Amino acid sequence: MEVKKKPKNFQALNRLSAEKSETRHKLWIGSYLTLALIFIAAYFLLQLHAFNIFRNYQSLLQKVSLGCFFAIVLLALSRFMQMIVTRHSRSVATRYNLIRLIRLITIILIAIVIISFLFKNWYAAAVSLGLFSLVLGFALQTPISSFIGWVYLLFRAPYRVGDRIQVGTFKGDVVEIHYLDTTLWEFGGDYLTNDLPSGRLIRFPNSMIFQSPVYNYSWEKFPFIWNEIPFHIAYESDLKYVEKTIREITKAELGEEVEETIRRFKELLKQTPIDELEVKEYPYINFRVNNNTWIEVLVTYLVEPKHAGGIRNRLIKNITSTLLKEPERVLFPKSNAR
């Protein structure tokens, strides 16, 4: 029942967050428009004879007023576009990327406005900007490659905000994709052996995606991974009963939605050149002989990466307690035979 309620709660929280964000954008738009009116009014007031006391700086002040007016109008338009994206975008990752792109375009346009008001001669401005960019290109190779990595992330999308990924030795949930770096909320790590968040943040340059393989555990088309749990039983156990019991408990824990997940998995396999792979009865129950004195029973199932730890704990408790109720049919290794 809890699994069914989570999407509704998530949608409600997402809608509430969008409403708060829209209110914040409206406040910013109102502030920007007020400032824009002030600067355009200052531009026209400076043309009056009453302000001849500033005649030595009148031309400069008018340029500054007009430039600030256009820059603030661009900021207001940027906020308006962000509000539209927040209102109509259902995907958090898509909304995040679009807002980042709008902010970048706004910064570029504001820079063009400032340059156009500072330099009367566009040719001289272009030459100066070209030389400056050349010097910066040599001095800032790593940040530039990281920015190119951000552009690659934007269009190719090997991972998005909210995905659970591994890049090199870094593992975590993506909480921010900046123009130059990515921030992960680490899970596992040096102090944990499970999939729980460690409490540490990992920040690495975006250029790493060109140097290290990217593992995405939250792929949009199929956001599930295969998990398995081993159980050790004696040779004298009723293997058919063990297989049936473990399968029933696993299905009951994962819910009916798993059948739809398996169907999606089979459809994805049909779209690949891997045609020899056969999806057997789910969940998989495999037996193998251990090197010591027992048989190892493996239950393999599909699970969302972020829920893997909790589901694993519940399955171990339920399966173990159920099998222990039948000591005549299921024998576990004892004492020094463990």
Q: What is the CA radius of gyration of the chain?
A: 30
Tell me, which fold does domain 225-337 have in CATH?
Alpha-Beta Plaits (3.30.70)
Note whether 205 and 146 are within 8 A (CB): yes
Note whether 164 and 306 are within 8 A (CB): yes
Q: Is 180 exposed, middle or buried (0-12, 13-18, 19+ CB in 10 A)?
A: middle
Q: Is 109 exposed, middle or buried (0-12, 13-18, 19+ CB in 10 A)?
A: middle
Note whether 81 and 102 are within 8 A (CB): yes
pLDDT at residue 201, rounded to an integer: 92
Closest CA to 170 of 155, 181, 154: 181
pLDDT at residue 15, rounded to an integer: 62
170-177, strands of its sheet edge to edge: 197-205, 181-187, 170-177, 164-167, 214-216
pLDDT at residue 220, rounded to an integer: 74
Tell me, which fold does domain 155-216 have in CATH?
SH3 type barrels. (2.30.30)
Sorted by where each begins, the domain ranges of the chain are: 2-121, 155-216, 225-337
pLDDT at residue 6, rounded to an integer: 44
Residues 6+ apart with CB under 8 A from 108: none
pLDDT at residue 50, rounded to an integer: 61
User: 279: alpha, beta or left, given left = phi > 0 and alpha = psi -120 to 50?
Assistant: beta
Phi, psi of 275 (to 5 degrees): -100, -5
Closest CA to 282 of 319, 241, 317, 251: 251
User: 189: alpha, beta or left, given left = phi > 0 and alpha = psi -120 to 50?
Assistant: left
**Successive 10-residue mean pLDDT values, the chain, 338 residues:** 42 61 84 89 76 68 84 90 80 77 86 73 57 57 83 88 89 90 88 79 92 86 84 90 92 79 74 59 82 85 84 92 90 65
Q: Which two tokens stand for residue 57?
A: 């700086």
